[in-house]
């Protein structure tokens, strides 16, 4: 899919201009598939950042499957992110592209006879950056999910100049999905900060063996494992490494996580 222009310097300028005394990194959360807990991980990461005294805002740039409300279209995932934010921005800033049909965004947009554009997403992102030390941007679908005929999630991430954390849904098939996703992220020239395992299948067989394999084969460190637990606030301590990975650049390199040893 065709690349769109990237104005990385603009976002670096916004980071310098924010009233926050010291901004950390913003990060894009992608996943090995749909339904593997990107929102759960994003909410937990927001809670973990807040627990350590950081201001953090979640963003869901594009969401399909929205519900019609008296306030307009609303998406369940975007609303969960909004609740976890501090400060709490307007919904339209968190989810600038809201689509009704519960299908892939490019199909949902076609049904509504509209076209997904990057400009409103960039504008909302810059507004959120000015409000908090971190913006946690949750993707839609997987890494190569199409957004229109010439645009994918990967193109969106490049246009926002964001490093990536990969959510691995811990279930049968996760090894292949995780390795393919990591390879695609790196091949697209993006920075893979690490991966977070999410226990979407609490009955998964040989889970520890699969985790050992992921730690050995993925080209980035494990930043946490989240268990099958409805209350994400009970698991914020599991993401200490993820919080550290997106701290300000003034941190010494030795403090940042490295690839897990074989």
What is the end-to-end Cα distance of the chain in Å, rounded? Answer: 35
The Cα–Cα gap between 189 and 207 comes to 31
Q: Is 3 a catalytic residue?
A: no
Tell me if the bond preceding 38 is cis, omega within 30° of 0. no
210 within 8 A of 174, measured Cβ to Cβ: yes
The Cα–Cα gap between 114 and 98 comes to 11
- Determine which one of 23, 50, 60, 158 is catalytic: 60
Q: Is 75 exposed, middle or buried (0-12, 13-18, 19+ CB in 10 A)?
A: buried
Tokens (6 digits) for 140 = 């839609």
Specify the DSSP class assigned to residue 10. H
Specify the DSSP class assigned to residue 91. H
Active site residues: 60
């Amino acid at each position: 899919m065709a690349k769109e222009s990237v104005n990385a310097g603009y976002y670096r300028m916004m980071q310098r201009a924010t009233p926050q005394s010291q901004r950390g990194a913003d990060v894009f959360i992608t996943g090995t598939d749909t339904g593997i807990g990107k929102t759960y991980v994003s909410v937990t990461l927001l809670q973990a950042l807040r627990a350590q005294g950081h201001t953090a805002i979640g963003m869901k740039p594009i969401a399909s499957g929205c519900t019609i409300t008296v306030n307009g279209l609303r998406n369940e995932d975007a609303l969960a992110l909004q609740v976890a934010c501090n400060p709490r921005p307007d919904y339209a800033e968190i989810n600038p592209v809201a689509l009704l049909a519960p299908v892939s965004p490019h199909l949902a947009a076609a049904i509504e006879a509209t076209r997904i554009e990057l400009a409103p997403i960039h504008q909302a992102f810059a507004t959120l950056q000015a409000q908090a030390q971190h913006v946690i941007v949750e993707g839609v679908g997987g890494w190569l999910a199409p957004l229109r005929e010439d645009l994918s999630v990967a193109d969106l991430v490049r246009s926002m100049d964001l490093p990536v954390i990969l959510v691995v849904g811990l279930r049968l098939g996760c090894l292949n999905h995780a390795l393919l996703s990591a390879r695609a992220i790196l091949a697209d020239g993006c920075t893979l900060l690490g991966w977070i395992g999410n226990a979407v299948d609490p009955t998964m067989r040989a889970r520890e063996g699969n985790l050992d394999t992921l730690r050995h084969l993925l080209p980035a460190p494990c930043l946490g494992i989240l268990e099958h637990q409805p209350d994400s606030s009970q698991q914020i301590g599991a993401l200490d490494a993820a919080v550290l990975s997106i701290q300000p650049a003034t941190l010494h390199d030795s403090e940042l996580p490295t690839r897990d040893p074989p």
